[in-house]
Amino acid sequence: MINVLRLNHRIERDKRLTTHVALAARAFGADKIYYSGQRDKKFEESIKKVVEDFGGSFEVEFLGEPLKLIKNLKENGFKVVHLTVYGAELKGKIDEIRNKDILAIVGGEKVEPVFYKLADYNISVTNQPHSEVSALAVFLYEYFKGRKVRFGGAKKVVIPSERGKVVKS
């Protein structure tokens, strides 16, 4: 089971980025995204609409207090993986992490030191500045070894095609 926690969402600044984080989380195999910061019902609805159309059981939930979730999941055997450009290299850690239940944390402009401390792993996908979207996507891609994720109950299914758009509905 893979949960994602996106910290410090700001409606104005982050509306599209947090949507991209959530979509990448779903597309690359996470089960649920939690987010803290400002509650954003429009964001939640846009993700629920994608799930309705494209299937699967991905969930989204706002959290007033992310620390409680972290402690709770840790008590339930989850490993907390904080994705940060400052962290240890993914390559050296992924075998240890793979197949464990995971809470993957991504910032937020600034991540408070407590998250570095509570994390079982502070992991960098690259030590160059990039994006929480790419960090999460590549992390999940490696976690699942590029394996395709299945989405049941879809109203719309995109059929891979060399030319044009083929959508079965």
Binding positions for a second copy, rule: CB under 8 A: 13-14, 16-17, 20-21, 23-24, 26-28, 50, 54, 85-89, 91, 113, 116-117, 121-122, 124, 126-131, 133-134, 136-138, 141-142, 146, 148-149, 151, 157-167
Residue number with CB closer to a second copy (47 or 69): 47
Q: How far is the CB of 165 from a second copy (least distance, A)?
A: 4
Shortest Cβ distance from residue 157 to a second copy (Å)? 8
Given the complex with a second copy, which of 71 and 86 has the nearer CB atom?
A: 86
Task: Tell me how far, at minimum, the Cβ of 7 lies from a second copy, in Å.
Answer: 16
Residue 64: asked if its preceding bond is cis (omega within 30°), the reply is: no
How far is the C-alpha of 125 from the C-alpha of 104, rounded, in Å? 13
What is the four-CA torsion angle of 8, 33, 2, 77, rounded to 10 degrees? 60
Q: Which CB sits closer to a second copy, 1 or 167?
A: 167
Please give, one letter per residue, the 3-state secondary structure of 63-82.
Answer: CCCHHHHHHHHHHCCCEEEE
Measured CA to CA, the distance from residue 46 to residue 167 in angstroms comes to: 20
Shortest separation between residue 63's beta carbon and a second copy, angstroms: 22
Q: DSSP states of 21-52 as a string?
A: HHHHHHHTT-SEEEEEES--HHHHHHHHHHHH
- CB 136 within 8 Å of CB 106: yes
Nearer to a second copy, 67 or 76 (CB): 67
Q: Tokens at residue 72, please?
A: 């709770």
Q: Which is nearer to a second copy, 15 or 62 (CB)?
A: 15
Residue 14 C-beta: closest distance to a second copy, Å: 8
